[in-house]
Structure 1
Amino acid sequence: MGEKGDVVPTDVTRKDFPDDFIFGSATAAFQVEGGRKEDNTGPCIWDAFCKEKGNILDGSNGDDAVGQYYQYKDDVNLMDNLGFGAYRFSISWTRIFPDGLGTDVNKKGIAYYNNLIDALLEKGIKPFATLYHWDLPQYLYENKGGWLNRDIVDYFAIYAETCFAHFGNRVKHWITFNEPLQTAINGHCTGIFAPGRKENPDIEPYLAIHYQLLAHAQAVAIYRKKYKVEQGGQIGLVADSEWSEPFSDKNEDKQAAQRHLDFNLGWILDPIYFGEYPSSMREKLGKNLPKFTDEEIKLLHYSVDFIGLNHYTTRFVAHKDLIGNSKNYFNAQEAELKVESAEGEPIGEKAASDWLYVVPWGLRKLLNYIYKRYENTPLYVTENGMDDKDDGTKPVSFFLNDEMRIRYYKGYLLSVAQSIRDGTDIRGYFAWSLLDNFEWAQGYTKRFGLVYVDYKNGLKRHPKASALWFSEFLNGKENQEGKEIVSP
């Protein structure tokens, strides 16, 4: 995790972090709540997407998910017993406004989140509320154009203010958007996520980011003007990014690695700090990339009190020549992602998902990059974790004895601790995920949870070895193995 060739021990303890450092777990509404047809909840784009054959690997949906809508008290007790001090959850837009328009507030939806927040606070667990975790109201998509129409900015602002007004006296950490990049690329380029659009990949992803950023900025402006002083909270957004390690010392590979960072992280954060998308994106995309007005630039400027980072893995990045004239996200980067070094060494141990390799040193490098580029804004690692594959053939004991996940968390937590020592202002860390859950297009075939959910027997929860390790870590009793990891 240091410079090239450095060898560092994997020992990490709670004492390596500041006393006020926040440790939490994270989930998303559509993935865990269930109760999609209960209490006047409206349909979202994922409800519709799941109904189309072939979209979800195992043909499943989020109708029941893992039942947190009914079991939230048990889950809060579970978090408390494990020792977590915070819970990052998302609010389902269609539980607040079933059609998303912002006219009639659903009192039953308000009551559910009031109950969840109160249950957390009773246990001394800080609520971190995400306003948008991919579950756009289906009505807004079908009738208003969703994230491709600027009107969505105003609808989101109404929804956000409603949440501030009802929950802000207790929620002190707000996140406007989770991973705008994935809404843009998987939702409007490859089409593997809701709403499944892939017809115009040269244009639509860039509009989807543009309007998410403006919706974020508008919500922040409302919060700061009307609620922040009285409620005393903070507001930010969550970006996701791999670390991009140059494949070689060649300048073209170094430039490709920077472009990959620009097209991931810079696409979201550069407009907030510098008033424009990264120059490499403007150079490659030209008029396909929208422009901000002077008024919008002013609205966006420093519209975060903190940055949330979702990080899972790292890639080697090499230059790749442009193919044809396509301006789609993948082609325009002129970057090839690799999982083996020039010497043929794998970048890390492979998890269940094809894209996920265990590369702890990459997190330290990414955190330090953000610290230097974005003025050492306070940071939270808002998601970090790995998955196991559930193809129905493995016994429960396989999932409960998740030693690889323990190794993952040890390595990545050490990376966070080292970045703090490097000077980065990191305030908290959230493990993804508290529970096994509906893993989007992968359905229930991937398990990211610290806690095993028995889908066949009443959605019963069983803490895995990693959950018990985390509990010991948080209480200063973690087992140290003294192994080493090597950074390129």
Structure 2
Amino acid sequence: MRSLPCSVLVLLLRVLLIHSLFLPFTSSRTTIQRGQFPPSFLFGTATSSFQIEGAYLQGNKSPSNWDVFSHIPRKIEDGSNVDVTDDHYNLFMVLDFLNTLIKHSSRSIKPFVTLNHFDIPQVLEDQYGSWLSSEIELDFGYFAQVRFEAFGDRVTYWTTFNEPNMYIYKGYILRTTLPSRCSYPLGNCSYGDSTLEPHIATHNLVLSHPGAAEIYQKFQEKQEGVIGIVIAAPWFVPYDDTPADRLAVERSLAFYFAWFADPSVYGDYPPEMRQVVGSRLPAFSAEERTKLLEVKLDFIGVNHYTTLYVKDVLLLHFALLSRGGMAMSNFSVIPRGMEGIVTYVKERYNNTPMFITENGYAQPTGPIDNSLNDTERIEYHESYLAVSSEVMRCGGEGIFHLVSARNFEWLHGYLIRFGLHYVDFRTLQSTPKWSATRYKEFLSEDKQNSSDSKNIHLQNVASGIFKTIKLCL
């Protein structure tokens, strides 16, 4: 294994990640109740357009980069694509899909609309390299304005980006997903530069948020909405209780989370990153810094699934060790990690309002009888809810379970299911799992005791390209 120069930007520089094999998992199925949360606390489910809509080339839609990618042989693990997936586009009422979806959803639920969830029009990749060009900031602003004008009278909660950190790390550093750019020794790519391009793409993406948020300010007073950003957020704990490993945890959080959140709060990238990366990290101009500081985040979304051990090392080395339970080997069931990440975000960002925008359990695809009896998902969900009920007194606003129905799980295709509903691949018939029934019961438990109690309508929902609908009541 080669020693790497300190200037190389990697997922977690000089850090060894080992999945938490030894942290305890405790079920809270018999203790968690709706009444343990504030009456105004929001519950919901989340999904994304690309993963459930289908309608490959319908409605005058041009291909996204993921449409193109999923048709390349051997790129998707099970050989599938998203031409149909859940066929939500066609099954949901009318051709004026998005407008009708939001119109009918807003009668009984609160739609959370995300403008970008990984996929982008292929034409932008072809024309100027998408996030590697500052041109995308203007195009993203145009796109956002069209959505604010069309849907803002019924949408209170807007998110500019979902998990931009995952998009950058996997697409420009490690090449595990689109746009598949990297350089040796981090990957074997035809094109790319893992030492420079992640910084460039992140810079353009980070500046696209205040651009869209500034446009939204023109609508905000009349529409009475808010706008934020959603970031993937595992929790990290030191492998050994040593100063070196504790500092490694701080760097991990900076490179993984703060890289994408600090600019919108403090007008600059994290000092922990500047100390390591130096001049390779772009500088914000005075005008850019002013815009970042003037257009504050209304809320931060946290997608939290698992917890990782971190150890300081001199060589780049990732050890992804599997643990029983989850279908995704790099996800371990560590409910207490929720407390750590919520506390970190609240303290670092001065109690900015926060939602847990994704949290869920991966299950392997199998026979319907096995899939419906998803007791492990129930245990996972209720254990994390139990911890959430304790830590949300720190200021959390809501939590969304991923996902209402089965979806296309990116490179895994349909081999993994996160959904509360089982969908038959041949007939597209949807059947509630035990977890869906239990979630509905949980949300109804204190209905008689509080007129403010909220209940969720568990239905299959989605959006169009550049958008994710996150739903709650």
The answer to whether TM tops 0.5 is yes
* C-alpha separation in 2, matches of 1:354 and 1:211: 32
Match of 2:291 in 1: 299
Query: CA 1:454–1:280 in 2, change beyond 3 Å: closer, same or farther?
Result: same
Aligned to 1:410, which of 354, 361, 382? Answer: 382
* C-alpha separation in 2, matches of 1:152 and 1:5: 44
Match of 1:116 in 2: 101
Query: Does 1:427 pair with 2:402?
Result: no
Match of 1:251 in 2: 243
Offset of 1:231 from its aligned partner?
A: 0.7
- Say if 1:318 and 1:336, in contact at 8 Å, map to a contact too: no
Superposition map of 1:79-478 within 5 A: 111-122=96-107, 124-198=108-182, 199-224=192-217, 226-301=218-293, 303-321=296-314, 323=315, 331=316, 349-390=324-365, 394-421=366-393, 424-456=394-426, 458-476=427-445
Query: CA 1:406–1:381 in 2, change beyond 3 Å: closer, same or farther?
Result: same
Offset of 1:192 from its aligned partner?
A: 2.0
Q: After TM superposition, what 4+ stretches of structure 1 lie above 4 angstroms from structure 2?
A: 4-10, 335-339
The count of corresponding residues between Structure 1 and Structure 2 is: 414
Runs of 5+ in structure 2 lacking a partner? 1-22, 183-191, 448-473
Offset of 1:287 from its aligned partner?
A: 2.3
Offset of 1:276 from its aligned partner?
A: 1.5
Match of 1:12 in 2: 32
Residue identity in the other structure for 2:385: L
Higher relative contact order (Cα pairs below 8 Å, separated by 6+ residues): 2
Residue identity in the other structure for 2:445: G
Question: After the TM superposition, which of the residue ranges 195-204 and 40-49 deviates more from structure 2?
Answer: 195-204
Residue identity in the other structure for 1:419: V
- Say if 2:320 and 2:330, in contact at 8 Å, map to a contact too: no
Residue identity in the other structure for 1:462: T
- Tell me the secondary structure at the aligned position of residue 227 of structure 1: helix
- Tell me the secondary structure at the aligned position of residue 200 of structure 1: coil
- Say if 1:320 and 1:336, in contact at 8 Å, map to a contact too: no
- Say if 1:173 and 1:233, in contact at 8 Å, map to a contact too: yes
- Say if 2:34 and 2:444, in contact at 8 Å, map to a contact too: yes
TM-score by length of 1: 0.81
Match of 2:453 in 1: none
- Say if 2:28 and 2:379, in contact at 8 Å, map to a contact too: no
- Say if 1:266 and 1:277, in contact at 8 Å, map to a contact too: yes
- Say if 1:352 and 1:446, in contact at 8 Å, map to a contact too: yes
Offset of 1:67 from its aligned partner?
A: 1.1
Q: Deviations over 1:391-417 (max 9, x none)?
A: xxx321111100000000011111111
- Tell me the secondary structure at the aligned position of residue 115 of structure 2: strand
Q: Deviations over 1:267-293 (max 9, x none)?
A: 111111222211221122222221111
- Tell me the secondary structure at the aligned position of residue 336 of structure 2: helix
Q: Deviations over 1:12-33 (max 9, x none)?
A: 1100111111111010000011
Offset of 1:373 from its aligned partner?
A: 0.9
* C-alpha separation in 1, matches of 2:142 and 2:27: 49
- Say if 2:325 and 2:376, in contact at 8 Å, map to a contact too: no
Query: CA 1:201–1:420 in 2, change beyond 3 Å: closer, same or farther?
Result: same
Offset of 1:144 from its aligned partner?
A: 1.6
Offset of 1:213 from its aligned partner?
A: 0.9
- Tell me the secondary structure at the aligned position of residue 351 of structure 2: coil
Query: CA 1:211–1:27 in 2, change beyond 3 Å: closer, same or farther?
Result: same
- Say if 2:25 and 2:334, in contact at 8 Å, map to a contact too: no
Runs of 5+ in structure 1 lacking a partner? 75-107, 324-330, 340-345, 479-488
RMSD of aligned Cα (Å): 2.1
- Tell me the secondary structure at the aligned position of residue 327 of structure 2: coil
- Say if 1:49 and 1:195, in contact at 8 Å, map to a contact too: no
Residue identity in the other structure for 1:274: Y
Name the % identity: 37
Offset of 1:71 from its aligned partner?
A: 2.3
- Say if 2:26 and 2:383, in contact at 8 Å, map to a contact too: no
Offset of 1:8 from its aligned partner?
A: 9.7
* C-alpha separation in 1, matches of 2:376 and 2:290: 46
* C-alpha separation in 2, matches of 1:7 and 1:138: 45
Offset of 1:54 from its aligned partner?
A: 2.2
TM-score by length of 2: 0.84
- Say if 1:244 and 1:260, in contact at 8 Å, map to a contact too: yes
Offset of 1:384 from its aligned partner?
A: 0.5
